[in-house]
Chains A and B, each alone.
Chain A
């Protein structure tokens, strides 16, 4: 009993390591493909750094070595757990990511909870009901999915922060500062999830078991919440896992608009400046997040669908 479990876990860990190595290699290759001299990009166009200073920077980061040598050197250090130092920010990559991870995790989690709550609420309320109600629900979902988050963020700020003054504009100080950014990030995700969930609910409600449950005297809502929702939840779980990853990407815009610290803004800065150690550190982080989430999603399937537990 225990042994296959351990073997399964070891298999997962090995696969995860392979994913991480692949991600680091791809990120390194992609950075090599970005045109331009790394030192010139680090310094930017308006620099007065002399040729001597430029040479010092090149030597310090080993950028004068052949590309393969640079990569192997980096991997060697990575194997000892050293992510290196950001070229541009002059701080340890581990510290930078450690500082910025908390606010982003908080934002992504809040957005995820909000998105799932909104979509479950909206889908249960509207699936299989009157046509008008459904049209309204589809309408907001379409609007939420197609509105640029940047614009939604500024709109929410203008109404709830600048005019009504209910929430502060920015900062990660307290819960009230989290509401608007989380909502901005959650809305498009909630739009997609509601659509999928309602489809699933309607399919489940058309199944014979729904009629049987009604015949046993359950109310319409109880049938939806207890029986149909469970059936509809499998695609929802799959999508939620995938969308959590996309939340990290969406965080870039939301963090910019709301002036929040976080991984998104850090990633943008790292990529723009071709800051190799930082970019790879961040890529490794997101690869890790994806590995963890897909593991969680696999486990959640077992919870949601008893048919999968037999093996």
Chain B
């Protein structure tokens, strides 16, 4: 009932604005409204009105082509449109491209563009605009931190005619359509790119796209205002609502404190709040005027990667022992009040290609873990009760990320893991250096554990996590610091395959191989 009210409220918005509630709500969000009595749930959406959304973080840069931040994409999703969209089942549907042909070798994609689409500055959307945007992203001078990687081995865009654009790659590139559906490969007006390219990071009216809203105001540290684009008439195929958005005005408020965001919501000062802390969920569920939306974030779970390039994790037995020696069920349940699910794979269950057969395949087993460590030769005991081998203690170096990068009580979950490993005789050393030292140590391969989550609706994230070309410090994230021929081959072949079944098979193998002893999926991210 309550859940339904939340969805009903979001249907007051247009489908694109619903993507705000769903967009700003691919995380745990809550919608409230003092007036939302039970009788109002079924009423038809009306045009007009305003909505205020409280979010937990503020974009550093508003340039979607440059910024790697989730929040930038979520906000700009209302301002820029993409070539394709993804429906609830993960299928690609037409958006600014009404159809497309994929070359059999996956080295080029030809998009047939929709007619009559206009940027909010009046410039028509055409093949030249596609080329201008993609070329800008790929240009190193743009300093793209995410979008350029979504373009992969981009070779160029050819303007076949004003309504046809052909995007080519130097190597087969299957993940492209997913990338093209994200706001990061969304389109700015060529006019704003020519006049204001260096001002796009600062937000405001220079962000000109074809989206259902225009970016009208931005006060750093406080809020931003999006205003309806009355001409909008090109929602993705299959959208619940087409045409202009219902809302006149959408205000996004930056409230970084969890308790303040929730207080503003329950007192009716904002109607939607993003990123609800698990500790607040119970109270909000009891509040009749608030509905909760829970969605699992696709992509990489909050995982721990084991640095297999150096002792002690250069020994697969030790890696396996660590994996079985942590009681993740208990830790995740306790720290997050039962709001997050523990993970079994590095990939989140809501990502295409997730291998469900991994579930329950590596349960906590302290006896087995101890046996594995004995086998690996860590049989000595020192005065503090830690295991030793040839006089050296079994130590795992795992620095804690400094704020503001540390979130979701990951340090507390870390304490639970530390305690479990202590029982096993493994010392986990957790100091919290400054971010410069952190990056140097962790991305320089000097530590044993690396923990992060990675949000993307595409199993190609596994390439980022496990391919040996994905080197940390050089734009990569492979924190196993190892070259595994099987993982390299699988992630590369899946990237170059057009056959969904073959891709799923390859990605399932990647997950199984990684789960054996390279990565610990700890929990789903559901903020």
Contact with A along B245-274 (1 / 0, CB 8 A): 000000001111101100110111100000
Q: Cα distance A45–B440 when bound, in Å?
A: 10
Q: Does B391 contact A (CB under 8 A)?
A: no
Among candidates B60, B144, B438, residue contacting A88 with C-beta atoms closer than 8 Å: B60
Residues of B within 8 A of A255 (CB): 221
Q: Does A222 contact B (CB under 8 A)?
A: no
Q: Determine how close the nearest CB of chain A comes to the CB of B59; give it in whole angstroms.
A: 10
Q: Determine how close the nearest CB of chain A comes to the CB of B211; give it in whole angstroms.
A: 22
Q: Determine how close the nearest CB of chain B comes to the CB of A27; give it in whole angstroms.
A: 17
Q: Determine how close the nearest CB of chain B comes to the CB of A151; give it in whole angstroms.
A: 11
Q: Cα distance A91–B263 when bound, in Å?
A: 33
Could you tell me which residues of chain A, from 27 to 69, have a CB within 8 Å of some CB in chain B? 34-37, 40-41, 43-54, 56-57
Residues of A within 8 A of B267 (CB): 161-163, 165, 169
**Of B145-153, B370-378, B491-499, B509-517, which stretch is located at the interface?**
B145-153
Q: Determine how close the nearest CB of chain B comes to the CB of A4; give it in whole angstroms.
A: 45
Q: Cα distance A89–B198 when bound, in Å?
A: 11
A43 touches B145 (CB 8 A): yes
Residues of A within 8 A of B259 (CB): 154, 158
**Of B94-102, B336-344, B429-437, which stretch is located at the interface?**
B429-437
B260 touches A261 (CB 8 A): no
A169 touches B260 (CB 8 A): yes
Among candidates B68, B436, B477, residue contacting A37 with C-beta atoms closer than 8 Å: B436
Residues of B within 8 A of A258 (CB): 260
Q: Determine how close the nearest CB of chain A comes to the CB of B432; give it in whole angstroms.
A: 14
A154 touches B475 (CB 8 A): no
A154 touches B144 (CB 8 A): no
Q: Does B442 contact A (CB under 8 A)?
A: yes
Contact with A along B431-454 (1 / 0, CB 8 A): 001111111101100000000101
Among candidates B146, B255, B436, residue contacting A48 with C-beta atoms closer than 8 Å: B146
Q: Determine how close the nearest CB of chain A comes to the CB of B471; give it in whole angstroms.
A: 9
Q: Does A168 contact B (CB under 8 A)?
A: yes
Q: Does A249 contact B (CB under 8 A)?
A: no
Q: Cα distance A154–B262 when bound, in Å?
A: 12
Given contacts A36-B440, A41-B439, A50-B475, contact A260 B221 (CB under 8 A): yes
Given contacts A34-B434, A257-B260, contact A48 B405 (CB under 8 A): no
Residues of A within 8 A of B439 (CB): 36-37, 40-41, 45
Residues of A within 8 A of B256 (CB): 256, 259
Q: Does B23 contact A (CB under 8 A)?
A: no
A90 touches B198 (CB 8 A): yes
Residues of A within 8 A of B440 (CB): 35-37, 40
Q: Does A170 contact B (CB under 8 A)?
A: yes
A170 touches B253 (CB 8 A): yes
Q: Does B140 contact A (CB under 8 A)?
A: yes
Closest-by-CB residue of A relative to B464 is A48
Q: Cα distance A46–B464 when bound, in Å?
A: 11
Q: Determine how close the nearest CB of chain A comes to the CB of B285; give it in whole angstroms.
A: 18
Q: Cα distance A53–B143 when bound, in Å?
A: 5
Q: How large is the interface on B (under 10, 10 to 19, 20 to 34, 35 or more residues)?
A: 35 or more
Closest-by-CB residue of A relative to B439 is A40
A45 touches B436 (CB 8 A): no
Q: Does B483 contact A (CB under 8 A)?
A: no
Q: Determine how close the nearest CB of chain A comes to the CB of B68; give it in whole angstroms.
A: 6
A170 touches B264 (CB 8 A): yes
Q: Cα distance A56–B143 when bound, in Å?
A: 7
Closest-by-CB residue of A relative to B454 is A46
Given contacts A37-B439, A45-B442, A56-B141, contact A50 B148 (CB under 8 A): yes
Q: Does B222 contact A (CB under 8 A)?
A: yes
Most buried by B among A40, A256, A258: A40
Q: Does A205 contact B (CB under 8 A)?
A: no
Q: Cα distance A49–B146 when bound, in Å?
A: 7
Q: Does B219 contact A (CB under 8 A)?
A: yes
Most buried by B among A48, A99, A172: A48
Closest-by-CB residue of B relative to A256 is B256
Residues of A within 8 A of B148 (CB): 48, 50, 53
Among candidates B143, B201, B477, residue contacting A89 with C-beta atoms closer than 8 Å: B201
Among candidates B199, B433, B452, residue contacting A46 with C-beta atoms closer than 8 Å: B452
Q: Determine how close the nearest CB of chain B comes to the CB of A55; give it in whole angstroms.
A: 9
Among candidates B255, B473, B476, residue contacting A170 with C-beta atoms closer than 8 Å: B255
Most buried by B among A90, A163, A168: A90
Residues of A within 8 A of B222 (CB): 103, 170-172, 259-261
Q: Does A241 contact B (CB under 8 A)?
A: no
Q: Cα distance A274–B437 when bound, in Å?
A: 13
Among candidates A40, A41, A51, A157, residue contacting B260 with C-beta atoms closer than 8 Å: A157
A96 touches B260 (CB 8 A): no
B436 touches A34 (CB 8 A): yes
Q: Cα distance A165–B148 when bound, in Å?
A: 47
Q: Does B41 contact A (CB under 8 A)?
A: no
Q: Cα distance A44–B61 when bound, in Å?
A: 13
Could you tell me which residues of chain B, from 109 to 146, have a CB within 8 Å of some CB in chain A? 140-141, 143-146
Residues of B within 8 A of A96 (CB): 220
Q: Does A70 contact B (CB under 8 A)?
A: no
Q: Does B223 contact A (CB under 8 A)?
A: yes
Q: Does A144 contact B (CB under 8 A)?
A: no
B255 touches A169 (CB 8 A): yes
Q: Determine how close the nearest CB of chain A comes to the CB of B490; give it in whole angstroms.
A: 21
Q: Determine how close the nearest CB of chain B comes to the CB of A297; give it in whole angstroms.
A: 30
Given contacts A90-B201, A256-B256, contact A261 B435 (CB under 8 A): no
Given contacts A43-B145, A46-B454, A90-B201, contact A51 B474 (CB under 8 A): yes
Residues of A within 8 A of B198 (CB): 90
Q: Determine how close the nearest CB of chain A comes to the CB of B255; give it in whole angstroms.
A: 4
Q: Does B380 contact A (CB under 8 A)?
A: no
Most buried by B among A36, A43, A103: A36
Q: Does A272 contact B (CB under 8 A)?
A: yes
Q: Does B312 contact A (CB under 8 A)?
A: no
Q: Does A284 contact B (CB under 8 A)?
A: no
Closest-by-CB residue of A relative to B150 is A48
Q: Does B202 contact A (CB under 8 A)?
A: yes
Q: Determine how close the nearest CB of chain B comes to the CB of A141; give it in whole angstroms.
A: 27
Contact with B along A71-100 (1 / 0, CB 8 A): 000000000000000001111000010011
Q: Does B326 contact A (CB under 8 A)?
A: no
Q: Cα distance A165–B475 when bound, in Å?
A: 48
B266 touches A162 (CB 8 A): yes
Residues of A within 8 A of B438 (CB): 36, 45
Given contacts A50-B148, A90-B61, contact A36 B436 (CB under 8 A): yes
Contact with B along A128-169 (1 / 0, CB 8 A): 000000000000000000000000001001100111010011
Given contacts A36-B439, A170-B264, A259-B253, contact A272 B473 (CB under 8 A): no
Q: What are some 10 contacts across the A-B interface (CB < 8 A)? A: A40-B440, A41-B439, A45-B452, A48-B149, A90-B61, A90-B198, A91-B201, A162-B263, A169-B267, A261-B220
8 further interface pairs, Cβ-Cβ under 8 Å (given A48-B475, A169-B264, A256-B257):
A36-B437, A37-B439, A53-B140, A169-B255, A170-B260, A170-B264, A272-B404, A274-B436
Binding site for B on A (CB under 8 A): 34-37, 40-41, 43-54, 56-57, 88-91, 96, 99-100, 103, 154, 157-158, 161-163, 165, 168-172, 255-262, 265-266, 272, 274
Top 6 closest A-B pairs, CB basis? Answer: A36-B436, A261-B221, A90-B201, A162-B263, A48-B149, A259-B255
